[in-house]
Structure 1
């Protein structure tokens, strides 16, 4: 029983009580294997951020030449995000000559509908917004395959103006600078480039526990997204030639999200995707609880599982690092029980070094992000000792949340997003989603989940 198991464990730890115990040293090796690639990847990321930011700054005088290229901006809405009015205001200030705004709302009963119509009317009355035309329309046909957002996007893509050369996507929580559209179009029209995007940087205004956990996780996620070529749909532009060549409209018919599903067909059609560091969108949202945060991270990972060819690498990294950290913690706990002080010192010091290096990497990523957004006169809050201390305290919680999310994304057979439950389904060899989304399906949940 329990007594014999404890005796067996005691014998094992007695045999391995030397500091050079096999098990302890193996854990040290695994921790090293886990952290070294992260360090190398971060160094590569910092260099890439620097070079791309310099290239962006060098196009200041040239960029204006793209201002006459016909473009359309698409905003898909379900539920009313707190920042929706500010998003419309930032779009109205775009320094761009020739563009249309296309807004697709889930339905006319959606809370976003009156806010969108009233805000656009007020902006038109009070100032001269930069768009040449704006349309606000409900989702015409609710799909049984693919997500509501992808259906809204398909609705726009199938009715583009014949002159439109670039389509830009924006999320309802993405407040952009007045150079946003000009920058996207200019870079999207470079030779061989089919799509460009920024990304999201979390800078929680109140430094809450969960807001900080999300910010730490997202810092690492940006590095992976950049390395694996995963666009961010909250600030994304696609060249019309490219979206037609890769048949993006057909791809969107069964997909959960628009961004992760773009990269494979885009590459296969011979086009490149480019990340634009200065277009990082600063999100100061702090209002999220730990359970919704875990589900949100799980959904981000699930989109890679469904739509990205390098998902096995993402999953392997998440599972390996989580397993190694868990094994190291368990080893330390058992070492204390059996007074294996040399083994405890070996593994605990290695674990502490791993965590310290991880915090240092987050610090380096933040400084790199700060330099990138400074190119467009946007500033992150200065780093403080208190913030670093919170990172140190909350890094273990972030790693636990990530471990739960990665396992959840691997096991998921369905996913809930803004009140709609989508079933994971296979379509002609490709994974996608299906649902039975009625116009008012769980609209209260959609309103409550505007951060998801």
Structure 2
């Protein structure tokens, strides 16, 4: 039903305009669930961190469980050498490292082989065996990363009981593998993961925007049971029961696609807060950042059963904020100062509460990683001020990313363009997977 301009002008001239009050209600509807969810998240982080700390004395009992760590590489991330170094220091007795590189001509191949050789020469790495192999087949269905992972899962050592995944930008503590395996072997648990916490070393504009967005994303991922593949462990019994290898044949990513089959097979996924990986990367531009966020959202759209909730939240909050800003602009034009005061103060309160929630999430993350002797940088007034200034930009980037993920028919990831395809009623991706000349440029723009 069309509303006449005279009705709009009349509403704007009313100090208690119906439109303004409705916007106030919508802002409350948007922020209250976020506050409740954050409070739940903080309590969960505390209880899980305490449970993790309580197992310190008995965790070593899991160190003899045969495990394999999988590192899939396409392009050479700046932190790749440090990742190998952190893996070499693992305090674990019985594990193998499996590295699958896109091809022998990939720059990651030379870095991986040289780093492993140097580590073997200079020290005694904790792994019992390391294998570096090229991707044998480049299928047209599913992503190359999933193809690399399938290559390993189909050739696991018969004794392996737990498979752990790590990303090329994830530098881990010496207790990382032990913690993953121990948590994964708890009764009924089929998979566990940490998550990524961004702590941009230079506090750049885009680095801060990514950190703010990621703080909220961690809460949603925890609430909706979305694992993070950069630090993920799966029990072998569980991956075989849920036929994960078959699922990976057509999927874009490995982590989001795990939950549905895992749950259907009767296994649980658990988030382990102390295993948050601190990422200090600052080197990303606004356009690649928007595409990166859109890709994270797209993986949920393709593979997670609760995607409608994720999309509804993103669209609703973005629409309400946009409507409030437009209302304020129109109120200024028509000198509706009471209406402006109502909506502008409500909008300011929404933003202030949002920044406060990010602060609470950061403090919760700091307490969690402190359990494993990792420290986040102390919170400063300057950092809080930057969050206040950059929160609106973060919300704009998120709005663009959520709309982009909903409309996407294809996605580019590390130089390969994947088309969204339906396979037997299930969404996945397909491509003409050939080596990309612009691969190194793609890695330089977006690490991951």
Shorter chain as normaliser: what TM range? over 0.9
Structure 1 contact 142–439 (Cα < 8 Å) conserved: no
The answer on whether the counterparts of 2:410 and 2:420 sit within 8 Å (CA) in structure 1 is: yes
Contact (CA 8 Å) 1:420, 1:442: kept in 2 or not? no
Alpha-carbon distance between aligned partners in 2 of 1:348 and 1:165, rounded to the nearest angstrom: 57
Alignment RMSD (CA, Å): 1.6
Please give the per-residue CA displacement for 1:371-401, whole angstroms capped at 9, x wherever unaligned: 0000000000000000000000000000000
Preserved CA contact (<8 Å) 1:79 1:450: no
Provide Cα deviations, 1:218-254, integer angstroms capped at 9, x if missing partner. Answer: 0000000000000000000000000000000000000
Q: CA 1:7–1:216 in structure 2 vs 1: closer, same or farther (change >3 Å)?
A: closer
Secondary structure of the residue aligned to 2:363 is: helix
1:448 offset after TM fit, Å? Answer: 3.0
CA contact (8 A) 2:288 2:446 kept: no
Native 8 Å contact 1:78 1:110 kept in 2: yes
* Conservation of the 8 A alpha-carbon contact between 2:72 and 2:149: yes
CA contact (8 A) 2:195 2:228 kept: yes
Counterpart in 1 of 2:36? 40
Say whether the 8 Å CA contact 2:76–2:440 is kept in structure 1.
no
Cα distance in 2 for residues equivalent to 1:6 and 1:337: 22
Deviation at 1:438, TM superposition (A): 1.2
1:196 and 1:236 in contact (8 A); partners too: yes
How many residue pairs match? The answer is 448
1:383-402 aligned at under 5 Å gives the runs 383-402=379-398
Does the 8 Å contact 1:202/1:282 carry over to 2?
A: yes
Structure 1 residue 18, shift from structure 2 partner = 2.6
Residues 420-439 of structure 1: pairs in structure 2 closer than 5 A:
420-439=416-435
Shift of 1:446: 3.8
2:298 and 2:395 map into 1 onto residues whose CA distance is: 17
Aligned counterpart, 1:451: 447
User: Is the contact made by 2:284 and 2:445 (CA closer than 8 Å) also made in structure 1?
Assistant: no
* TM-score, with structure 1 as normaliser: 0.97
The 8 Å contact of residues 11 and 18 in structure 2, kept in 1 or not, is answered as: no
* Cα 1:154/1:73, change in 2 over 3 Å: same
Question: C-alpha separation between the residues in 1 aligned to 2:436 and 2:309?
Answer: 38
Shift of 1:444: 3.9
**Contact 1:194 1:239 (8 Å CA) reproduced:** yes
Query: How far did residue 144 of structure 1 move?
Result: 0.2
| TM-score, normalisation: structure 2 | 0.98
Q: Deviations over 1:52-90 (max 9, x none)?
A: 000000000110000000000000000100000000000
Gaps of 5+ in 1: none
Match of 1:226 in 2: 222
Q: Which moved more, 1:342-351 or 1:12-21?
A: 12-21
Q: Is the 8 A contact 1:214 1:398 kept in 2?
A: yes
- Name the counterpart of 1:310: 306
Aligned pair partner of 1:185 in 177, 181, 191: 181
2:131 match: secondary structure: strand
State the 1:451 CA deviation: 1.1
Cα distance in 2 for partners of 1:58, 1:6 equals 62
Quote the offset at 1:20 in angstroms: 1.5
Which range moves more in the overlay, 440-449 or 373-382? Answer: 440-449
- Measured after TM superposition, the shift of residue 15 of structure 1 is 4.2
Q: Is the 8 A contact 2:251 2:429 kept in 1?
A: yes
Task: Please tell me whether the aligned partners of residues 12 and 331 of structure 2 are also in contact (alpha carbons under 8 angstroms).
Answer: no
Q: CA deviation at 1:178?
A: 0.3
Residues 449 and 411 of structure 1, relative CA distance in 2, 3 Å threshold: same
